[in-house]
Amino acid sequence: MRIGIFGLGTVGQGLVEIMRQKNCGIEIAAVVDRSFAKKAQVLQGIPASADKDLILKDKSIDTVVELMGGIDDALYVVRSAIEEKKNVVTANKALLAEHGYSLFHLAERTQGGQILYEAAVAGAIPIIRNIETIFRNEQITRLMGIINGTTNYILTRMRKDNMGYGDVLEAAQKQGLAEADPTLDVGGYDAQQKLGLLISLVTGKWVEAKNIPVRGITELSSQDVIWAERFQNRIRLVADYKQENGQHYMHVTPALVDERNVLYDIEYENNAILFQGEYSGEHLFMGKGAGKFPTAFSVYSDLLYLKSGSAAAARKFAHTPLSTNYLSIGDISDTSSAFYLRLRVKDQPGVLAAIAQILGNNALSIASVHQDHSAVQAGEADIVIHTHSAKRNSFYRALQEIKNLKNFVLHQIYLPVLT
Ligand SMILES: NC(=O)c1ccc[n+]([C@@H]2O[C@H](COP(=O)([O-])OP(=O)(O)OC[C@H]3O[C@@H](n4cnc5c(N)ncnc54)[C@H](OP(=O)(O)O)[C@@H]3O)[C@@H](O)[C@H]2O)c1
């Protein structure tokens, strides 16, 4: 087996190092990287160029490893490789979320190579291969996970170190745990892309990731982290899917989890995916969601899988997202949840009564109410309400009505409670 690597950055370098140490019988025939000239120390004589044809036109290379990231060039490389009937291993969830449908379809149509992408979802956690093989005939009715390490790191440090969102983000950027432009992570879009890939695999129908409702963590403040702790809860950015009454519901959202939920203990940049199989019961996968060696190891594992010949055999049976069907996504607001609602209000008589009235009118029953003046200016108060489970629709309607109380309500934030 001879491979060509596109992109000798963090993951690419990790892969080269692992392969050198493991002596696995797979040859790195060439590397393409736009700044290959600066990477002679890593290359140690491996032929390299910025010209993609060094790999794409080499018929002796049977597998392309795409580790450049980005969309346009990566799409060209993966598409060309498949047309040349080469296998592709990629860690690029953004590429697959946007173009996976056409790329998997192309691979099927041209009877070209396989596309493997274990590293694209949850780094080192072997979730793709497990769903494709062991669980291929299992009905997965619920899946929830922490699949973005950056946001989990931020939320963990906000709580443990009593820091504000902005300060933790800056620290994460300095440590290389957050990108200079963190929007994909903190906006929830990275988790949205990964959830799309996971549920495509789970259902065998392609999920358009951009249609999955998403909320990030940018509106959260340390107040919410503190309030969560007071009730033995933690805030997690969760990717949540469930099958109910024949509908497929999914979203990415910050949520409260309590100590009975396994996601409660997943800290820092770790990832975890919990799912429920119809016959096999509950499963938890936990591990490193990113990083040089954890991610490179998943790429390496895909290469060994290809080399063993098992990938081709497994794909014949797996329900991969190759079909011509798109999954229809149910409207998440038709489902139910309990909620945490924090309102910054003017401290005046009648405010709480007005809010309670709105909740009652929308069939929302209150589990608890707390008021606190400690973190606010004089004349203001924070009211924190926990509701019992109710239709999300009703809650959103009530929230809109509460927002309209502009004379009283200065700011509001809500979180669903994950169960
Ligand atoms: N890092 C992680 O922990 C992690 C985890 C899971 C998945 N991934 C995925 O793995 C992929 C690689 O990530 P990474 O962290 O290794 O990125 P990276 O450190 O930025 O490395 C990318 C490498 O590719 C080169 N490159 C970028 N665009 C190119 C182009 N158009 N033509 C030629 N060379 C190009 C870059 O050159 P320059 O040095 O000039 O920029 C760099 O050497 C991404 O898809 C990412 O989403 C990463």
**How does pLDDT run across 8-30, given as a tens digit for each residue?**
999 999 999 999 999 899 999 99
265 CB contacts (<8 Å, ≥6 apart)? Answer: none
Task: State how far the Cα of 183 lies from the Cα of 175, in Å rounded to an integer.
Answer: 17
Q: Is the pLDDT of residue 324 over 80?
A: no
By most ligand atoms within 8 Å of CB, the mutation choice from 5, 51, 295, 300 for ligand 1 is 295
Ligand 1 pocket (Cβ < 6 Å) reads: 7-12, 32-35, 67-70, 73, 91-92, 119, 123, 290-291, 295
Tell me which residue has its CA closest to atom 31 in ligand 1. Answer: 73
pLDDT of amino acid 376: 73
Residue 82: pLDDT band (50, 70, 90) is very high
Q: Is 194 a catalytic residue?
A: yes
Q: Where are the domains of the chain?
A: 2-116, 127-287, 335-417
Task: State how far the Cα of 178 lies from the Cα of 201, in Å rounded to an integer.
Answer: 28
On the question of a common fold for 2-116 and 335-417, the answer reads no
Looking at the domain covering 335-417, what would its CATH class be? alpha beta
Centre of ligand 1 to C-alpha 183, Å, is: 17
Tell me which of 39, 86, 93, 194 is the catalytic residue: 194
Centre of ligand 1 to C-alpha 43, Å, is: 16
- The whole model's pTM is what? 0.96
Centre of ligand 1 to C-alpha 28, Å, is: 18
Q: Is the pLDDT of residue 168 over 90?
A: yes
Q: Tens digit of pLDDT for each residue in 26-75?
A: 999 999 999 999 999 999 999 999 999 999 999 999 999 999 999 999 99
Tell me which residue has its CA closest to atom 47 in ligand 1. Answer: 92
pLDDT of amino acid 311: 77
Task: State the residue for tokens 């009118």.
Answer: 361
Tell me which residue has its CA closest to atom 1 in ligand 1. Answer: 291
Q: Is 1.10.645.10 the CATH number for 2-116?
A: no
Task: State how far the Cα of 5 lies from the Cα of 14, in Å rounded to an integer.
Answer: 12
Kindly state which CATH superfamily the domain 127-287 is placed in.
Answer: Dihydrodipicolinate Reductase; domain 2 (3.30.360.10)
For the chain, percent of residues with pLDDT exceeding 90: 87
Structure tokens at 284: 């938890």
Q: Tens digit of pLDDT for each residue in 94-136?
A: 999 999 999 998 998 888 789 999 999 999 999 999 998 999 8
The per-residue pLDDT of the chain, averaged, comes to 94
Contact, 36 vs 55, CB < 8 A? no
